[in-house]
Structure 1
Amino acid sequence: MTSTKIVLAGGPERLFADGHVRRPENPNEKVKILLGSGYEHFVHNGEFLTIEGENLPVFQWSERTKIAE
């Protein structure tokens, strides 16, 4: 995957206050984003979306995990 931007799909709405396009630190096959007391996990299943001339990978929400105390 060569893009430094990704599109997030699914997950809690409060995650998208700044939009669905993100620049993750490590855009591999899985991305996790800290939200509140846990992490939202997203995976890339091969889908791409063209936004403003850029072909961006779409990462679909897969699960939420809690932060261990």
Structure 2
Amino acid sequence: MSDFEVLLVGGPSAIPEAERVQLSPSLTEKFKYRFGAHYEHFVHEGQFSIVGDKRLPIYRWTRRTAIAE
């Protein structure tokens, strides 16, 4: 099984543009992106965007959680 390239939209503006495209193992599960001392949570709601020559699923930001120690 291969990973999917996805586009992260929303969340902290400090997330570098170069890190907005990530690999996700699934299009149906939430995606957690570690950013500083938090996880930013993103979900795919069926939308897509063209990035370069690729059609990528859009994962929209939903919330932030602290990393447990």
Q: TM-score range by the shorter chain?
A: 0.7 to 0.9
Map 1:5-24 → 2, pairs under 5 A: 5-24=5-24
TM-score (normalised: structure 1): 0.79
Stretches of structure 1 that go unaligned for 5 or more consecutive residues are: none
Question: Do residues 66 (structure 1) and 69 (structure 2) align?
Answer: no
Q: Secondary structure at the match of 1:18?
A: helix
Percentage identity across paired residues of the two chains: 36
The number of residue pairs the alignment matches comes to 67
Name the counterpart of 1:54: 54
Q: Is the 8 A contact 1:8 1:21 kept in 2?
A: yes
Indicate the structure with greater strand content: 2
Distance 1:39 1:9 in 2: 14
Give the Å deviation of 1:62. 0.3
Coordinate RMSD, CA, aligned:
2.0
Unaligned runs of 5+ in 2: none
